[in-house]
Structure 1
């Protein structure tokens, strides 16, 4: 809109000037008024541009800044007491302000060549037009009066604007009629200069177009001068319209508007194909923010064209539907190493891999800091498994990092408004104010203060610690009892960055001074003030938080509340554990189990880190960070490390064996059978030789079940695995306890191990798992899940009701319907565009099959009993609307601009999604985007799903260490009866103070009128009344 206003003001100014060249008398009043209005507009626009520019001096002295400044001078000279005869030509120079609109319209012409041709034509016309104005003004001003009288010219001059324009056309076209000529020597000199300038300017532009015409379309370069004082990153790899649409909609969402104003963000999309018309139309919504350049990250020349060496980050996206994940990961590794070699360690390379085992490959050992590896497949299956016990968890986690549509037409007291409030709650890192450290607040005191003051939930911190002489940063969720330190960075749930920043500015808010006193006293805030200097209101709030009084709630029986919460959190889980068929472990093994699960500060994460800010891979942090890697890789690295040492240094075989044994015992907590050749003095369970150690690592079933077996191990034990499959195959499921039924219609998922492993987490309900699939799995497929207790297989099709009944769908506590990606058959060559990479018909067929299976399951369960027992995976988010229950709503209620940028985002309001019934693996791509703003994104999600360690203070070493037996877990409990009818604010404070639980949101069942299906309500309004049917998400 501003571009069009600028265009209109420039056109009016030029027209007014041309009209003045034909009048000798007084000008009409409307011309003067138009000149003043346009002049004020250009002055205000220049001031705002200077104020909002990231680098003001760069803008002021740039070509655009000079043009903007010149366009403001006419109004200054208009009111100047001196002769303003020069104001006319300055008024004419406002024609240069039309150029931004020409560039904007040029982008709609299609490819880069058409755009350059259009811009060249318009520039040529502009040069002729402005040259005519300059020539006419100079000639009329410099023509002598005698010459004017001799040629019977008016006092203004002998040449009109049309005469000057005609002269420029016939001269530059080499026609040269000679009927019109300049009457002054200065006019002839200006004409010579203009002709020479045109000859110098136009040929290079024509050569540039010819050069581009000989190459592929979109083969230009990214001008790094566009991002001086701001940021830009490159998106490459396997690009499709869907990924670009989601990527851009997330980055340029209004939630990040505050960050964009402070640090503007440019995005360069680099792909080895030309964009389709659909993608071109999408990019028009992000004009001047996003550029598409044809190229590949493997070539140094293409990386130079996009200025990769000065980029903030380079994203390398993988093809999630690749038929051969190993081949796709190999291509990703090649791209990553090429970019890292070209850019160095200062540029973040965020690469997506499909197989988590590839994150531990030795190929990364020789690379330096700067590479961040993210694998989303384990997260996908762990999230599905955890959703079997926590309703709506998938929606809750994804919405924490994904921005949603805005409802432009508020619906009073409607459930969609409450859900939209929770949908806008995102995770933001914040710098904690100094007063937290000065007052020595514990985490829970700070969390209560932040919630009372800003209605924002502080749920974790990013802590700094040292290891092997290096500093690292790790995430800790809800570190209850920990006194906050100056180096801690808070993690909050906030509706936008502006609200989150208020927490960091709490010092300024508390110590606010009136008027100019605030400006001069601002440095005094940093020096630390006494408690008495706090404002009265804040001092009372601080006293309430530190004293922990419960005066703002009128609860009749506090002890009854304690009892109810303990029952809700612990007794329910204990009852489910007793009903499980998994044998209980003795207390002596619980501590070891906790260690073996590696509940690290970044546990189970496929983000490989190693440097101080957690952005790189490698180094000593690989252990415990790269999780669920094959059972023998860590130990084999120990052997490899010794074998590659200097041969001159003698190292006995016994020494090697001793270190391997210690590594196995410490990191794996496994028990080994006694060696028959060992002496009587050898302790039971110890490994006495290298052969035994290797046999243990190559065993199946594995001694340690928290690591995915290596394919070589599965191949070696193929016979045992098939025998295990035969024993576990059932024709009719009739188990004594409810089970989890996994329906797979397509290809067997290679990462199903993570699903079963999550369900076998100690301390959580260990329900039996029944897998229904049309074909018998191979030894490599079954070998990854068959060694777990109570995992069974049923051969049959999930689309047949009879097979579902044989698999025990009636007795199942949860039915999980998995999907599987397919390989794109279209060409991916250089001449293909992104439309060829769109989802093929097979993808929609898989989704239709899953929708059909879900409907069949619900029919067998008679709908009313299937309220929350079905979880469906779909490849396409747009297909979620076809699941039951369906909801039709007018798309006009959404913000029009946001809807045009991402039309498929309406699925976020579909009842199956908001209730956690439907899940799309592609939705996890939001974690890739969020990693740019918060490097700990994957670690946060991992701990929300699998748990995180609790920090304990070691008095002997005077340091913090992670507990070996206690974990911080995300749970879901019914609302305690004593809180029913109270507000969420009272629930939040009451549970935080008296029960050690941090409430994050609600799962509300009432309000939808759709068979009891609820919706996720993250960080509800403080005044929201809690209902008896609500479920509470808590960290405990």
Structure 2
């Protein structure tokens, strides 16, 4: 090395010669070494290379070429600017004409009118235009605005890094040495690179607007000191390492190159790359300078103080210097090196102290979950976003990944803008095979691309159920929907909404299409619907919540009420296509067969009308016959059991008693059995006429089948040749040709066609219903129902007309009503009371069956809700507070059918136990109240105390007696109550006699099992259920909302109120739909089964006789103990087995058909009404009847009692001619008396026939 030659002075000539000889021998042992003694300067050279024989150093020639280029160009630029300025000052008169020529538009330039002598003036204009075009072209080439420009910029950067790499290789050679250009491969490559850099420098020079600033740029300085020395080295046949390390400064542009390649997109990544590139380029450049001066020595010392340092040792030296460590093992010896280190320490230390911490911070702040999702072939994935917390995610995963579902081959991708905490992170790690988390926002299209939203099977949006502002939360979720639909309009979205009125905003999104699977699960709507159904059948909210949630079976050996409750909890709702063996059978027949033989409970089907519209029919009755490819809704314990309905074959499984043996069979007739009924009919006709399939005129298709097989598989003895055409025409009219729907994946994430038809199929022609000629006495010109015919309707009423004072309410004897205790004020969020009232005003109830609703709460709050309630009949308001016992006694809470306790106050309280303090206090307040028996005596002795329309008894031919209330409630603990809770753990405070642990899940607690508590958290499972089958959400909305349809939602979005409609056969036909009821076993046609009978016998009898579908039991908690005075609390048993033993006090949940005749004049029904109330005086109610009462009852006493009741009813029935179902005839809905004594009751009975009834206080029902 040259530096080694410079280091001979201190050690003597012999040492220097030996070191130089060793180095050159290592490099090329065949070369001879000549030591020049001139000024003690030694330079190695080869005898084959024409180099300076004297060993004269030529570093100054390389440096001079760069300096001359730099300063020469700078001088020319300054000289040009000076001359141009002087020319402008001296000849400023020519400036104005030139500027004017630039401004003139060539299209408007009158150059044609100028004389030829003026053409010389246009020459400078053409020259300027040519230069401008070239300048613009060069600017485009280097600005990366085009593909060519981007390629050029990237290529220049890549070649610069390549030149730096060549420098790293040559740094191991001497600083200056003789080189043959034609033999040195690295020198040839470096020459090619620098020629390209020279051309690129020319482009940059042409495109530069300010040539002086361009000349002083860093990149220009790099070119000055790297390009010219290469040409000098070719000319002198020697190489000087020199300032080629300046190529490292090109690394500063690394972030720009990555941005051109669209690799860097975020500000943090750009900043990180900028900091790293500046730090590394400065480090490498400074190391190159130290390497040069330390290996060369000081010029004024005649290069005698040099030291041999490799380039990487210099890099190490600068790093320990910047970090202020300074080990001292490597240090600068030259004066130039030490002087440079002084200034470098100042700048390098500042850079190290500022850049390194910022780089570490950026790397540390880099999102741990900032990657991209990689889709797996053959595996679907869904994206879950919105309110992502430990509670919401754990509840979602618990239900979505439940073992009872069929094999779930779906990956769950969570997307949230906040990184998960340690607990949530641990939850993700436990489910790492099926769950991934990414940090980001669905409002950012880049984040949507990261999670592959376009390839996702669905996107699920979770809502914060406990937020203080529900409207703001809904607005956030709606914005998420808009962002996702804007990115990918075809994605299926299932979102949770808190407020019902915010669902209307989703309809404004153009790509929102519920026919393609988009669904909005409104928690307020469903919560109110569940509670409303509990008002009609207490405990139903618990049963439905358990059916739509995935619960594991918990086996209990002890004979306790928890054992039977948990057996029912293990049942869930599933869907499965029905086997072709069921085609042509009626729904009750199939339902009985599934329950008895397959151990499955079929409650509904998906029916396709003649217009190919789908609708869900719940217990439709005998008029519906099964079609090919019908989808059934089953209650079962797991998905595998439901497949029996699909695999069932009558030929193979008819004699099988064990349902577990019903599996897919290899029956050859399976192919034939899958043929449509239409083809079977035609084959039967051809078989009877004796013609072949091709020759028979009735055959329109080529269906080939063996005649013997056909005769055995489908005997049609009633079809003859003569009536073949008639039969086929009738069949075509009744069953239009349909194409079986494409097989949907069951319980597996494939999107099902949504149940989109809002139309309810009529069971009968409305014009031929028995007794329908009277049409319940309703005038077609009077509006009784809303425009859809799904709900009872009345003209709008002012709130002042329905307000009752405490004194007026106490004078009005209310019975069989619903008391709604609501906590709220002016600032409270609206809970949507309309969703609570609508199921109670469904049109499948007759007018006299509607329960009056009394709201007890703040009038200021109820005024805000009244806009949505003023079209419903039988609604009253008592301003007050639910904590006031005087207000509760005024509304006769001890005679109500249900007391609902709600709270609209969303308090931001840190202690979650205090969120439900108002509801808990109200519930405990009611349970601790005591009542005297005067009301019970009056009600037992006087039918007048039951307001018209509130007698829910039925004629003897009907099996349903509804809630047969006890004659008197003396303690508040016997009042049916359902309390809404925000926090699940607060359920422990509702019942003081239970032993529920605070950590017990809600569904395992006694209040929830008894149906006296409800929390919105139980609705979380609907997200998973809706994803796997969107028909589930339609079914549950049909069950709990009373008949809400998409058309009705659109109407409410337009007007925010129900619109009245005239009664037409079409709207009246919509009343013909099932409703939930409770069947009492103590009395009625099923009394013989109530005492030790089997539940399966009751199921079959109710289904065959009355088309009633039983699906559960509401049993006294201590019924299995046979205690003399059992507890009045009841619990829910879902879908009991066939052999389950019944007790007389059981109440049976059933789906009851609409009774067309029940709406006629109640005169004919008064006998049974009085019979029920007369017997209630003795028997109290099925809620409190001990089993021993039924055992001691004799047939003789029953007959005498029936005779006495009949005699009394005949007498009182004449006094009840006003007691009809006609709303206009029953304008008196409340009877004002003072229930003080038995004497007062006798007076009321005495004057009842003389129409001495006091008119109603506020509500005038003749308008309704």
Shorter-normalised TM range: 0.5 to 0.7
Distance in 1, Cα, partners of 2:533 & 2:981: 18
Per the TM alignment, residue 402 of structure 1 is displaced from its structure 2 partner at its CA by 0.9
Alignment of 1:512-591 (within 5 A): 521=666, 525-528=670-673
> 1 CA distance for matches of 2:512 and 2:534?
37
Give the alignment partner of residue 570 of structure 2, picking from 424, 436, 442: 424
Using the TM superposition, name which of 966-975 and 493-502 deviates more: 966-975
Aligned position for 2:1036:
941
1:984/1:1022 contact within 8 Å kept: yes
Distance across 2 between alignment mates of 1:459 and 1:1029: 25
Shift, 1:527, TM fit? 3.1
Question: Mapping of 1:310-321 within 5 angstroms?
Answer: 310-321=455-466
Q: Which residue of 1 aligns with 2:648?
A: 506
Asked if the contact 1:970–1:1035 (Cα under 8 Å) also holds between the matched residues in 2, the reply is: yes
Deviation at 1:295, TM superposition (A): 1.5
What is the 5 A alignment of 1:404-423?
404-407=551-554, 410-423=556-569
Task: Find the counterpart in structure 2 of residue 846 from structure 1.
Answer: 915
Alpha-carbon spacing, 1:491–1:908, altered in 2? closer, same or farther (3 Å): same
Q: Secondary structure at the match of 1:219?
A: coil
Instruction: Name the residue aligned to 1:279.
Output: 424
What SS class does the counterpart of residue 492 from structure 1 fall into? strand
Q: 1:948 to 1:480 in 2, by over 3 A?
A: farther
Displacement, 1:823? 6.6
- Give the TM-score normalised by the residue count of structure 2: 0.45
> What's 2:878 paired with?
794
Within the alignment, does 1:759 sit opposite 2:840 as a pair?
yes
Structure 1 residue 315 displacement after superposition = 0.5
Q: Residue 1026 of structure 1: CA displacement? A: 1.2
Going from structure 1 to structure 2, the CA distance change for 1:612 and 1:501 (only over 3 Å counts) comes to closer
Report the alpha carbon displacement of residue 450 of structure 1 after superposing the two structures with TM: 1.3
Q: Does 1:1011 align with 2:1127?
A: yes
Give the secondary structure class of the aligned counterpart of 1:733: helix
Paired residues, number: 623
**What is the match of residue 591 of structure 2?**
447
Report the CA distance shift for 1:212/1:522 in structure 2 as closer, same or farther (over 3 A).
Answer: farther
Cα deviation for residue 281 of structure 1 reads 3.4
Q: Is the 8 A contact 1:431 1:504 kept in 2?
A: yes
Alignment RMSD: 4.3
- The answer to whether the 8 A contact 2:814-2:892 is kept is no
1:259 to 407, 413, 418: 407
Question: 1:569 corresponds to which residue?
Answer: none
1:973 is displaced (CA, Å) by 0.9
- Partner in structure 2 of residue 304 of structure 1: 449
Quick check: which has more Rg, 1 or 2?
Answer: 2
Once the two structures are superposed, residues 827-860 of structure 1 have per-residue CA deviations (whole angstroms, 9 ceiling, x without a partner) of xxxxxxxxxxxxx537532313211211110000
Structure number with higher relative contact order (C-alpha < 8 Å, ≥ 6 residues apart): 1
SS at match of 1:224: coil
Structure 2 CA distance for partners of 1:1017 and 1:209, relative to 1, 3 Å: farther
Q: Report how far residue 271 of structure 1 moved.
A: 1.5
Q: Distance in 1 between matches of 2:650 and 2:870?
A: 59
SS of the counterpart of 1:1034?
A: strand
Given that 1:949 and 1:963 are in contact with CA atoms closer than 8 Å, whether structure 2 keeps it comes out as no
Give the CA deviation at 1:731: 6.7
Partner SS state of residue 576, structure 2: strand
Residues 405, 269 of structure 1: alpha-carbon distance in 2 compared, 3 angstrom cutoff: same
Change (3 A) 1:336 1:851: same
CA distance in 2 between counterparts of 1:505 and 1:1030 reads 35
Separation in 1 of the partners of 2:1010 and 2:486? 46
The answer for the alignment partner of 2:538 in structure 1 is 391
Q: Deviations over 1:634-673 (max 9, x none)?
A: xxxxxxxxxxxxxxxxxxxxxxxxxxxxxxxxxxx9xxx9
Helix, strand or coil for the counterpart of 1:255? coil
Q: Secondary structure at the match of 2:915?
A: helix
The alpha carbon displacement at 1:357 in A equals: 3.5
Deviations 1:257-314 (A, max 9, x none): x333xxx222122112122223233334323222222111111111122121221111
Matches within 5 A, 1:489-888: 489-507=631-649, 510=652, 521=666, 525-528=670-673, 613-615=752-754, 721=798, 723-724=800-801, 732-738=809-815, 739-747=817-825, 749-762=830-843, 763=845, 765-774=849-858, 776-777=860-861, 779-820=863-904, 822=906, 840-841=909-910, 844-861=913-930, 866-884=973-991, 886-888=993-995
Structure 2 CA distance for partners of 1:494 and 1:406, relative to 1, 3 Å: closer
CA pair 616-488 structure 1, distance change in 2 beyond 3 A: closer
Output the CA distance in 2 between the equivalents of 1:512 and 1:808.
57
Aligned equivalents of 2:929, 2:979: Cα separation in 1:
16
* CA deviations over 1:320-372 (Å, ceiling 9, x no partner): 34444443333222211221232331x31112223334434451345454532
Work out whether residues 835 and 1041 of structure 2, in 8 Å CA contact, stay in contact via their aligned partners in 1: no
Partners of 1:814 and 1:869 within 8 A in 2: yes
Contact 1:370 1:616 in 2 (8 A): no
1:577 maps to: none
Shift of 1:426: 0.9
Q: Distance in 2 between matches of 1:962 and 1:283?
A: 53
Residues 335-354 of structure 1: matches in 2 within 5 Å? 335-345=480-490, 347-354=491-498
**Secondary structure at the counterpart of residue 751 of structure 1:** coil
Q: Distance in 2 between matches of 1:319 and 1:450?
A: 40
1:135-161 deviation line (CA, Å, top 9, x unaligned): xxxxxxxxxxxxxxxxxxxxxxxxxxx
Q: Hey, what does 2:1099 align to over in structure 1? A: 988
Matches within 5 A, 1:219-238: 219-225=370-376, 228-238=377-387
Supply the distance in 2 between the matched residues of 1:940 and 1:904 (Cα, whole angstroms): 32
CA distance in 2, matches of 1:432, 1:886: 46
Q: 2:616 aligns with which of 457, 471, 475?
A: 475
In the alignment, is residue 1028 of structure 1 matched against residue 1028 of structure 2? no
Aligned match of 1:897? none
Return 5+ residue gaps in structure 2 as ranges.
1-358, 657-662, 681-712, 715-749, 762-774, 932-969, 1046-1065, 1153-1264
**Is residue 400 of structure 1 aligned with residue 547 of structure 2?**
yes
Whether the 8 Å CA contact 2:586–2:621 is kept in 1: the answer is yes
Measure the CA separation in 1 of the matches of 2:891 and 2:1006.
28
Q: How far off its partner does 1:378 sit?
A: 2.0
Aligned partners of 1:466, 1:920: CA distance in 2, in Å?
41
Contact 1:336/1:349, CA 8 A, preserved across alignment? yes
The separation in 1 between residues aligned to 2:861 and 2:1139, in whole angstroms, is: 53
Call closer, same or farther: CA 1:343–1:724 in 2, change over 3 Å: same
Cα distance in 2 for partners of 1:430, 1:798 equals 46
Provide closer, same or farther for how the CA distance between residues 913 and 943 of structure 1 changes in structure 2, counting only shifts above 3 A.
same
Q: Which runs of 5+ in 1 are unaligned?
A: 1-207, 532-541, 544-610, 626-668, 674-683, 687-695, 825-839, 892-902, 951-959
Shift of 1:941: 1.5
- 2:1024 corresponds to which residue? 929
Q: Is the 8 A contact 1:708 1:784 kept in 2?
A: no
Task: Between 999-1008 and 383-392, report the one with greater CA deviation.
Answer: 999-1008
Query: Per the alignment, in what secondary structure is the counterpart of residue 459 of structure 1?
Result: strand
Is this contact kept in 2: 1:458–1:492, CA < 8 A?
yes
C-alpha distance after superposition, 1:929-986 (max 9, x if no partner): 2101221122211232355699xxxxxxxxx999444222221111221212221111
In structure 2, the CA distance between the partners of 1:1007 and 1:282, relative to structure 1 (3 Å rule), is farther
- Contact 2:790 2:1042 survives alignment (8 Å): no
CA distance in 1: counterparts of 2:477 and 2:401, whole angstroms: 26
- Corresponding residue for 1:40? none
For the residue of structure 2 that corresponds to 1:239, the secondary structure is coil
Q: Distance in 2 between matches of 1:275 and 1:435?
A: 52
